[in-house]
Amino acid sequence: MSSELSHERVHYLDHLRALAMLAGVLFHAALAYSPLMSGYFPTADRQNSPWVDAVVWGSHLVRMPLFFLIAGFSAAWMLERRGAGGLFRQRMRRIALPLVVAWPLVHWALSASTVWAARSVENPSAVLALVRYLTELPDPPSAPITLAHLWFLYYLLLFTVLHWAFRTLGLARYGERAIRGAAAWVLLGLPLLVAPALATVSAPHPAPESPLPQFWAIAFYGAFFALGAFVHGAPDWLTRARALAPWLIVGCCALYAAFLWRLDAEPPGEAHPSASWTVALLEAFLSVWLTVLCLLAGQRLLQRPSATLQYLARSSYWVYLLHLPILFALQYALMDFELAWPLKFALAGAGTLALCLLSYHLLVARTPLRRFVG
């Protein structure tokens, strides 16, 4: 199976990556209607629903971990096929360059639309009201510099460097040994390894948007990246993990109910600046188990080539890069409309996806840009 994986395209991973990226677009769209985020998210609408919280935080626990797991798998695959030089060149072309080009554009677009909304929207969110207050000061402070949703590119570069360092120092052998043992060891051990990282930040865990590396994000997402790289070396691990899937499903249902209950009791804020150990452990187990379940489901259901999914996979990188400025602009524009929140969510989500896919079709699909972001 290892050689099979080395020489053939692993369609289900492409498809899962595409679905994870697209889930990101819907996740960001849904945050505007999350009661938990109403005080923190710029596009937070007047209307919200606890049903949004009940759904989005589950996807939050699995979306980016799954993405990093696939990235780790791909890095190990590329290292095996093209060597360290090939991997480095690919990362420069596909990650570093798009990050350097897109970052200032995204920062400018988000800042411009937020300042416009702060001045124009009649029903602003708490964040917009604060921005309005700050921009009206005689000496307004400049907007904080963050990576916004492009932080994942930054961490991908960081993990590529760490991957090289760990392999060079021979530290990967401990993980390789663990992955060759019983699947249950990883499924129980990995959550315990990442739980301390999650206990240092608020729950649900924030996006590590700072341009400086964060310990918790390296430990949390890095663990999934490493798991992906190890699974590439021992693909039979998934077969062994499959036997535990029914237990994982039952466990995830119970843990997610407990997580939502604790989240309601310990909402993020001044009273709970970081997650309690209980919540951190729940998040850790859910992240690992849900991610593995998604991988197993993908292997079972998505391995067959599909024209639609392949198109989405090819466009997903561009869509993800572009989506947040468009989404914010649409949601700011919708804030004053008297529409039900599901309709606003559908309009903003569908509008963003449509514009992103259209721009992909016109600007990327048949142009040299596809080598970089296609």
Partner 1 sequence: MKLNLPLVRLLVVKDWQLFQKQLATYVLAGIVALCFLGLAESWAFYVGSLMLLIVMVAAACFSISTSLVVERKEQTLSFVMSLPVSPLDFTISKLAGNLITFAVPFVILLGGTLATVLLTPLPDGLFVYALLIFAYILFAFAISLSVAMSVESEGWATFAMIGSMVLINPYIMALAQIPDIDQRTRVDAVVWTLPAVGILISLVVLSIAVLGATTWFHARKPAFN
CA–CA separation, 140 and 103 (whole Å)? 23
Binding segment (CB under 8 A) for partner 1, from list 88-96, 155-163, 190-198, 227-235: 155-163
CA–CA separation, 268 and 262 (whole Å)? 11
When asked if residue 100 is in the footprint of partner 1 (CB under 8 A), the reply is no
Binding segment (CB under 8 A) for partner 1, from list 160-168, 275-283, 322-330, 362-370: 160-168
DSSP code string of 271-292: S-SS--HHHHHHHHHHHHHHHH
When asked if residue 97 is in the footprint of partner 1 (CB under 8 A), the reply is no
When asked if residue 137 is in the footprint of partner 1 (CB under 8 A), the reply is no
Binding segment (CB under 8 A) for partner 1, from list 5-13, 54-62, 205-213, 252-260: 205-213
Report residue 142: phi and psi, to 5°.
Answer: -75, 155
Q: 75 vs 68, 229, 272, CA distance in Å?
A: 10, 7, 37
Toward partner 1, which CB reaches closer, 216 or 317?
216
Measured at the alpha carbon of residue 242, what is the angle toward residues 182 and 316, in degrees to the nearest 5?
A: 115
What is the DSSP secondary structure assignment for residue 35, as one 8-state letter? G
**Shortest reach from residue 256's CB to partner 1, in Å:** 31
Toward partner 1, which CB reaches closer, 51 or 164?
164
Toward partner 1, which CB reaches closer, 10 or 156?
156
Question: Given candidates 96, 115, 130, 162, which one binds partner 1 under the rule CB under 8 A?
Answer: 162
**Shortest reach from residue 168's CB to partner 1, in Å:** 4
CA–CA separation, 228 and 137 (whole Å)? 49
Binding segment (CB under 8 A) for partner 1, from list 11-19, 24-32, 157-165, 295-303: 157-165
Instruction: Give the CA diameter of the chain.
Output: 65
When asked if residue 238 is in the footprint of partner 1 (CB under 8 A), the reply is no
The two structure tokens encoding residue 228: 């992906």
**Shortest reach from residue 154's CB to partner 1, in Å:** 11
Integer-rounded Cα radius of gyration of the chain? 21
Measured at the alpha carbon of residue 369, what is the angle toward residues 363 and 374, in degrees to the nearest 5?
A: 90
Toward partner 1, which CB reaches closer, 181 or 211?
211
When asked if residue 169 is in the footprint of partner 1 (CB under 8 A), the reply is yes
**Mask of contacts with partner 1, 215-234, x by CB under 8 A?**
x--x----------------
- Does the CA dihedral 192-198-203-207 come out positive or negative? negative
When asked if residue 145 is in the footprint of partner 1 (CB under 8 A), the reply is yes
Size of the site for partner 1 (CB under 8 A): 16
What is the DSSP secondary structure assignment for residue 144, as one 8-state letter? P
When asked if residue 172 is in the footprint of partner 1 (CB under 8 A), the reply is no
Question: Given candidates 135, 210, 278, 310, which one binds partner 1 under the rule CB under 8 A?
Answer: 210
CA–CA separation, 310 and 17 (whole Å)? 11
Contact residues toward partner 1 (CB under 8 A) are: 145, 158, 161-162, 164-166, 168-169, 210-215, 218
